[in-house]
């Protein structure tokens, strides 16, 4: 279903990418999506605004930073505007406010 997922992402104005912190990093399914986009002639530009929800049981800052780094690079590579990451409820609320401003 890779092509289907990519088409949906291309059509979307806003994409919320969700990942648990698994083994100090983004989870395997999210990494697989990014890996399959890389050097793929079918995936040139995805566009839209990208938010990341990245939840762990007790992640250290470097783990979150590493995930954000990868997702930010991914966004840049595929013409998406990276809007930020939430790893707890307070941060999610802030991101939700940014999403509301998208709707206005
Ligand atoms: C295989 C596995 C690896 C995990 N590794 C980490 C980790 O490195 N750091 C962390 O903060 N949480 C880790 N967790 C916890 C998950 O991030 C957490 O279970 C997930 O965000 C879902 O939250 P919940 O269990 O409260 O529903 C791990 C969980 C599993 C199952």
Domains contained in the chain, CATH given: 2-103 (3.40.50.360)
Ligand 1 centroid–CA 84 distance in Å is: 20
Mean pLDDT within 90-104:
82
Residues facing residue 14 across a β-bridge: 49
Helix axes 61-77, 28-37, angle to 10 degrees: 30
The pLDDT assigned to 100 comes to 77
Longest Cα–Cα distance of the chain, Å, equals: 39
62 close to ligand 1 (CB < 6 Angstrom):
no
pLDDT tens digits for range 33-79: 999 999 999 999 999 999 999 999 999 999 999 999 999 999 999 99
The pLDDT assigned to 102 comes to 63
Contacts of 18 (CB under 8 A, 6+ apart): 30, 52, 53, 54, 55
Ligand 1 centroid–CA 56 distance in Å is: 5
> Would you state the torsion angle of the CA atoms of residues 46, 67, 25, 57, taken in this order, to the nearest 10 degrees?
-110
């Amino acid at each position: 279903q890779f092509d289907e997922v990519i088409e949906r992402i291309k059509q979307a104005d806003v994409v919320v990418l969700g990942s648990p912190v698994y083994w100090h990093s983004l989870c395997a399914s999210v990494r697989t999506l990014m890996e399959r986009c890389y050097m793929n002639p079918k995936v040139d530009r995805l566009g839209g605004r990208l938010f990341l929800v990245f939840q762990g049981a007790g992640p250290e800052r470097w783990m979150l930073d590493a995930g954000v780094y990868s997702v930010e690079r991914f966004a840049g590579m595929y013409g998406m505007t990276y809007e930020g990451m939430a790893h707890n409820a307070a941060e999610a609320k802030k991101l939700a406010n940014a999403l509301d401003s998208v709707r206005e």
